[in-house]
Chains A and B, each alone.
Chain A
Amino acid sequence: GAGVSQTPSNKVTEKGKYVELRCDPISGHTALYWYRQSLGQGPEFLIYFQGTGAADDSGLPNDRFFAVRPEGSVSTLKIQRTERGDSAVYLCASSLYGELGLDTQYFGPGTRLTVL
């Protein structure tokens, strides 16, 4: 019964570099979500996976951001050519996703990304 896990816990990178953030959802959860939380703000939606496919990527800010979930479990959020404005906590959540499509999301501890 492990919860959602995210690695690394903290990531410091230089402007222009490429980073990957990993999320391991609760076992058996088919839905996976990525959110970004800037300092002093609530989390903002980035992308939602149902199984292996991205069902809604409307929150991705631009084409430097990309996420995959190739086997329907672990997901990786990829950020190319990082900018200082990308500095934030990146949160991952998963849910069981019942037929009604409205279900509680359980969050991981987040990855704090700092772009110097």
Chain B
Amino acid sequence: AQTVTQSQPEMSVQEAETVTLSCTYDTSESDYYLFWYKQPPSRQMILVIRQEAYKQQNATENRFSVNFQKAAKSFSLKISDSQLGDAAMYFCAYMYTDKLIFGTGTRLQVFP
């Protein structure tokens, strides 16, 4: 069965600094998608970034980038130039066929 592990329950970063959130997953499949979602207190899950497993190039969206290591089954999220609005729960998720499988989340605090 596929599993997703986020080993950092909480992380903190100073405004304008860089922080990396870790995620590992377990699968025997070769073609799948990986996602990072952000969940602020409003509860809405907001897509941050996605990575197709067949692509070797790491995905980037403005200040957000990933380090995708397929052989190691690792998918970390780097947030550069952190802003106060980045404070939220961050969930890593794996998708093969239909359903998303989520990790337990990392709470990110951003200090001014």
Contact = CB atoms under 8 A, between A and B. Distances in A.
A106 B44 CA distance: 10
Nearest to B104: A42
B104 A107 contact: no
A45 interface: yes
Interface in B1-21: 4
Interface residues of A, number: 26
A109 B39 CA distance: 10
B98 A104 contact: no
Contact of A44 (B35, B45, B47, B102): B102
Nearest to B50: A104
B98 A56 contact: yes
A108 B45 CA distance: 7
B65 to A, nearest CB: 18
Interface in B80-112: 91, 93, 95-105
Interface of A: 31, 33, 35, 40-45, 48, 55-56, 59, 89, 91, 93, 101-102, 104-110, 112
Interface of B: 4, 31-33, 35, 37, 42-47, 50, 52, 91, 93, 95-105
